Amino acid sequence: MKANVDKSGCIGCGLCVDICPEVFRIGEDGLAEAYAPVTPETAERATEAKDACPVSVIELEGEES
Ligand code: SF4
């Protein structure tokens, strides 16, 4: 599974990084980016980060529904 952050909407609050630092980090531009693939180990926290994002700019590709 792969995570994507739509930087045009990210407000750089850092919540996703707090929740799932294995996948998300704050880049040099002060906005979040997904720098690593989502693994079975991190899928739960990546989903939590997605749900917690206050502006809903995190997308998970290949999410099981
Ligand atoms: S939680 Fe959302 S708004 Fe906050 S840094 Fe992460 S992607 Fe950006």
Distance between first and last Cα of the chain:
12
Please choose, from the candidates 35, 55, 10, the residue with its C-alpha nearest in 3D space to the C-alpha of residue 46: 35
**Residues 37-60, mean pLDDT to the nearest whole number:** 97
pTM of the model: 0.93
Q: Could you read off the pLDDT of 9-38 as tens digits, one per residue?
A: 999 999 999 999 999 999 999 999 999 999
Domain 2-61 class, CATH top level = alpha beta
Is pLDDT at 65 greater than 60 in this prediction? no
Nearest CA to ligand 1 atom 6: 16
Other CB atoms within 10 Å distance of the CB of residue 64: 7
HSE value, Cβ hemisphere, 13 Å, CA-based, for 34: 22
Domain boundaries of the chain, sorted by first residue: 2-61
Q: What percent of the chain has pLDDT over 90?
A: 94
Q: Among the atoms of ligand 1, which is closest to the Cα of residue 14?
A: 5
List of residues 6+ apart from 21 with CB closer than 8 A: none
- Which residues form the pocket of ligand 1, taking CB atoms under 6 Å from any ligand atom? 5, 10-16, 32, 53-55, 57-58
**Residues 30-53, mean pLDDT to the nearest whole number:** 98
